[in-house]
Amino acid sequence: MSPQPRALVALNVISLILLGAAYYASLVYAPLEAVMGQVQRLFYFHVATAWVGMIGFVLAAVAGVIYLWKKDLKWDAVSLAAVEISLIFFFIAIVLGSIWARPIWGTWWTWEPRLTTAAILQMIYMAYLLLRQGIEDPEKRARFGAVYTLLGGISVPITFISIRIFRTIHPVVIGTGSAEAQGGFNMTPLMLQTMFFSIFVFSVIFVTIFWHRMRMASLENRVEQLKLKVLQ
């Protein structure tokens, strides 16, 4: 196995340092929110992980389109890597949100548009992984995967709208929220800085993990080819 390229090693270190800085920013640097108290500090990581999760799903669908167009298995690897990483980050976002919601909304979970859509999104991409598992031919697996990510990408916004027609209590911190939203707050400049810094940090972490995952994909590919060679 070829050693990790210098840039990747540097990125590993930078990610680690940035993650530490993000902890410091959200736990110490950002001011205490007056009404909700310490639990509000979860917000910075919640938004950042949800952001990265969303980016990953969009990336997966875009890579799916490019795969169907170019038929290059490299794009399938991009799609798969993006989905796998996004599933984890999105899961973290949901868990953090739940921990926050328990004292603020008084419940771990509520069937509200964003929460419900998030859960359905997770289901869709888990189904995507199951679909891939059931197909041996790499080319067919890539095609079906691409079609499914696209169908998922089309259906998720419609799901969101369909549940939105019911009311929402999820706070909308940026832009205008609905009147029934609970747990919203106005951000001070320090809070805003912390939020954007966290989003930046998690974007860098995403790139780092993504790079590792792509290297792993090419290794898997080589293993498969070596296996075929031995069989021949």
The conformation of residue 195, written as its DSSP 8-state character, comes to H
Question: What is the rounded distance in angstroms from the CA atom of residue 144 to the CA atom of residue 146?
Answer: 5
Q: Which of 12, 110, 155, 221 binds another protein (CB under 8 A)?
A: 155
CB of 95 to another protein, least distance (A): 20
Under rule CB under 8 A, which residues in 28-87 are in contact with another protein?
68
Burial of residue 70 (number of CB atoms within 10 Å: 0-12, 13-18, 19+): exposed
Q: Which stretch binds another protein (CB under 8 A): 141-149, 181-189, 190-198, 206-214?
A: 141-149
For residues 164 to 203, the per-residue mask of contacts with another protein, x marking binding by CB under 8 A and - elsewhere, is -x--------------------------------------
Report the SS3 class of residue 136: coil
Question: What is the closest distance, in whole angstroms, from the C-beta atom of residue 89 to another protein in the complex?
Answer: 19
Least CB distance from residue 67 to another protein, whole Å?
Answer: 10
Between CA 61 and CA 156 the distance in angstroms is 12
CA distances from 99 to 42, 83, 102 (A): 8, 24, 6
**Contact residues for another protein (CB under 8 A)?**
68, 120, 123-124, 127, 130-131, 133-136, 140, 143-144, 146-148, 150-152, 154-155, 158-159, 161-163, 165
